[in-house]
Structure 1
């Protein structure tokens, strides 16, 4: 199994896919990658961290508390990331996502410059706004992933007082559309039909009067751009008239 995972992880991950089934199958089943396994470990780690310390989990001859299990799973995530790096495979959105989840597991208030570096290396911060926009599973995943990374960068900066690693001046990626996961993972014709409705746009949320996970993600993304302006004022220093020095 390890050999299969290594072989799959060495292959370039195809980013731009329109069909949800093809997209999911490209990193699941027989195409399972170390990034995929790392993502699974992050969910198991978060789940274990929510259990009470009095709950015990037998693993072989050993017994662990929920917190200990969470730490074990977090270590497994770290090893999956290390393997991906040692394999020398090109970075991809799956790798960015597992790094993002690992950062959240390690600390709620510690930034990760490597995460931002990989994010910008893949160009997730400068996805152009196209008109008309025809969403796909891959394009919306990229938008959603960047919104999460951008938001956590501002949260970390607010807690630590450090300058943010991502600035709105260098960001052109639109927020993800307020489209339900069921529609996004369903038939593409239905996805395009929903995307063409007047209520769906880059500026509208609470489509269909439903509070979805992506709705919260969009709201946090909007607040992150406002937070960016506040950080520019609170952390910035004005050194005279810049325009005058360029004349």
Structure 2
């Protein structure tokens, strides 16, 4: 289910939960159910695990789309956990979602050669070097913040009193 049909279903489930949050708020029970279903679809389709699937520099359009959706779900999960003080459904300990490359959406819609050329212009960490800010740039920053929030939530919500701020990297 990790192919294009799984990715499309995950995207639609994510958008459904976002739409419901806009209409009824992030604290409504149906929204939490929709978010949990989205997380379940993410893990069921295997998109939470990117360890050996692709290198950060060699990518394809489908990989980039999956990375963007995976990051969006992870970011929302951390926002919700922080917002209401509940445990997150995803954690960096069991997720290896890579940030998308810092490319324009038009690069994703271009032909394979153009996409690969644009991807090769990025630095070793996947950031563009022309100073432009794209939606993927913002998503990459949000993902960095979400990873930091995940560590903080682990300390704040931990039941283990021996685990403290010293363990946060």
Q: Are 1:113 and 2:27 matched, yes or no?
A: no
1:221 to 127, 143, 152: 143
Q: How many equivalent residue pairs?
A: 153
2:157 is matched with which residue? 235
Q: CA RMSD in A?
A: 2.2
1:200 is matched with which residue? 123
Q: TM-score, normalised by structure 2?
A: 0.81
1:137 is matched with which residue? 61
Show structure 1 runs of 5+ residues with no match: 1-11, 16-90, 242-247
**Shift in alpha-carbon separation, 1:13–1:147, aligned structure 2, 3 A:** closer
Q: TM-score, normalised by structure 1?
A: 0.57
Instruction: State the alpha-carbon separation in 2 of the partners of residues 235 and 93 from structure 1.
Output: 31
Contact preservation (8 Å) 1:168, 1:228: yes
| 1:215 aligned counterpart, secondary structure | helix
2:95 is matched with which residue? 171
Greater Rg, structure 1 or structure 2?
1
Show structure 2 runs of 5+ residues with no match: 164-169
1:59 is matched with which residue? none
**Shift in alpha-carbon separation, 1:157–1:13, aligned structure 2, 3 A:** closer
**Greater relative contact order (CA < 8 Å, ≥ 6 in sequence):** 2
Where does structure 1 differ by over 2 angstroms across 4 or more consecutive aligned residues?
Answer: 12-15, 128-134, 203-207
Q: CA deviation at 1:164?
A: 0.1
Q: CA deviation at 1:141?
A: 0.2
Instruction: State the alpha-carbon separation in 2 of the partners of residues 119 and 142 from structure 1.
Output: 10
| 1:238 aligned counterpart, secondary structure | coil
2:105 to 170, 176, 181: 181
1:92 is matched with which residue? 6
Instruction: State the alpha-carbon separation in 1 of the partners of residues 48 and 129 from structure 2.
Output: 25
